[in-house]
Amino acid sequence: MPKNIRNHSRSSARAWWMWSVLLLAIAVTYFITQPQPLRQERITYPAQPVPRIVLPSPIPIPEKTSEQKIKEGAQIFERLMGESDPFFIGNKYYPPFGIAWLRGIVEANKKGELLITPVTTFPGASSTLMASGYNGQKMEIEISLLKLWGFVNVDYPVTKYDSRVAKHTFMNGMVHEALHLRGQKKEFFDFSENSTDTQRVYEERLKEELRVWPIMIINVIRPLRVVGQPLNNDDIEADGILRGCKDDPSCPLFVEFIKKRFRDPYQK
């Protein structure tokens, strides 16, 4: 091999080695000068007791007094009287039979022939909402404020039931009592209220209920159900039973239904 070629090869090898050493030195220097991430030590904290949270006892809601219920019942009475106005266009869905009787009640009341009187309760049946009779020579429909309060706040509260249930029960009750007043003479009511023959009174009043209930069911309750209006459970059940009896009020099932629900409001 020529001498000049041999010297050139040695120079190239030496240069390559020097550049390698230089690059390695640069790399080491760069690595050393770069900031290193801190090593995170796991810190173990001593166990702490879990504090016990004691919730205060709920404050009991006091039971309303009879005076409070009567006062609120009077407010409910005034509201339902307004909502039941048969001349109000919003009540045009109510069956014509019922509208006619409600208008008759309003007109008789304006003439002073019929009294609509809220009372605390009835002596014979606290579960009775309405009753009819005579006050002197005037016809009278009485409404129990305590029962009205219980009906709206306990039996059918608006939190669970449609508010129209109370309205329809009130309207139906007024028509129901008007049917009693127009279907019987004053002597019938005087006897019911004052007689000591409780068995005979019960039989006569039961007979009267068996007369009026089918009229109400066929002409008011059933038409309301047909158009999907909400009603109380008794009205719905009564219609179902009478339907099953093919609208025969002497049917034993229907008679038994009325017996279970009828309470004479005046007999103690």
Is residue 28 included in any domain, yes or no? no
Tell me: the pLDDT tens digits for 171-224? Answer: 999 999 999 999 999 999 888 888 888 889 889 999 999 999 999 999 999 999
Contact 121, 146 (CB under 8 A): yes
Euclidean distance between CA atoms 236 and 225, whole angstroms: 8
Is residue 16 included in any domain, yes or no? no
Is residue 184 included in any domain, yes or no? yes
Judge whether residue 263 has pLDDT over 90: no
Judge whether residue 83 has pLDDT over 60: yes
Euclidean distance between CA atoms 247 and 1, whole angstroms: 134
Handedness of CA 215, 220, 226, 229 (dihedral sign): negative
Q: What is the pTM of this model?
A: 0.75
- Confidence bin at 36 (pLDDT 50/70/90): low
Euclidean distance between CA atoms 145 and 129, whole angstroms: 8
- In the DSSP assignment, the letter for residue 48 is -
The letter for the amino acid at 17 is W
Tokens of 146: 């305590």
- Confidence bin at 13 (pLDDT 50/70/90): low
Is residue 238 included in any domain, yes or no? yes
Is residue 136 included in any domain, yes or no? yes
Tokens of 232: 């109380």
Is residue 164 included in any domain, yes or no? yes
Within 10 A of 208 (CB to CB), how many other CB atoms are there?
18
Of 164, 170, 172, nearest in space to 90 by CA: 164
* Residue 262 neighbours by CB under 8 Å, 6+ apart: 205, 206, 209
The pLDDT value given to residue 54: 64
pLDDT (average), residues 84-108: 97
The pLDDT value given to residue 5: 47
Greater confidence (245 vs 163) lies with 245
DSSP strand pairing (130-135 vs 138-144)? antiparallel
Helix (H, G, I), strand (E, B) or coil at 116: strand
C-alpha distances in angstroms, 119 versus 55, 71, 122, 123?
44, 11, 8, 11
The pLDDT value given to residue 266: 47
Euclidean distance between CA atoms 13 and 19, whole angstroms: 10
Is residue 29 included in any domain, yes or no? no
Chain-centre distance for alpha carbon 23: 87
What total number of domains does the chain contain? 1
Among residues of the chain, what percentage have pLDDT more than 70?
Answer: 76
Tokens of 102: 């409600």
Tokens of 33: 């000068």
Rg from Cα positions in the chain: 44
Is residue 232 included in any domain, yes or no? yes
Range of the domain at 97: 66-261
Judge whether residue 117 has pLDDT over 80: yes
The letter for the amino acid at 266 is Y
The pLDDT value given to residue 219: 98
* Residue 83 neighbours by CB under 8 Å, 6+ apart: 167, 170
Tell me: the pLDDT tens digits for 167-176? Answer: 999 999 999 9
As to burial, measured by CB atoms within 10 angstroms (0-12 exposed, 13-18 middle, 19+ buried), residue 148 is: buried
